[in-house]
Amino acid sequence: MLLINSFLFCGLICMLSQLILDNTKLTPGHITSILVVIGAFLDTFSIYDRIIEVVGGGALLPITSFGHSLIHGALAQAEKTGVLGILMGMFDLTAAGIVFAIIFSFIFTLIFKPRN
């Protein structure tokens, strides 16, 4: 069941962004930024957490999940240490993704040559 939900949810987000991309003047950069803000907004009242419970991995892959994990880590840390936790805990969950994205891009850039 999680597999079907993943397919539907991830596909729906991609389809909606494709429709926005084709029918408006927004670029992929605009759309990903908007989706990140939407993801952060949805987690303000723990809506995105429930989506992840129902959908599983499909909700963790779209870029909305990046905004969700930023605010999720911030709030989890804020529960422990107070207001400063919002600043300290923001990268708790996304750190692995960002660090590996930077490291992989750096290593592959050193190894490979640009194609075009």
The reply on whether position 25 binds another protein by CB under 8 A is: no
Q: Does 104 bind another protein (CB under 8 A)?
A: yes
Lookup: tokens for 109: 């850039």
Residue 80 tokens, joined: 């422990």
Is residue 84 involved in binding another protein (CB under 8 A)? no
On whether the CB atoms of residues 17 and 31 are closer than 8 A, the answer is: yes
The CA distance from 106 to 113, in Å, is 12
Distance CA 97, CA 91 (A): 10
Residues that bind another protein (CB under 8 A): 2-3, 6-15, 17-19, 21-23, 28-29, 31-33, 35-37, 40-41, 43-45, 56-63, 65-67, 70-71, 74-75, 78-79, 83, 86-87, 90, 93, 96-98, 100-102, 104-106, 108-109, 111-115
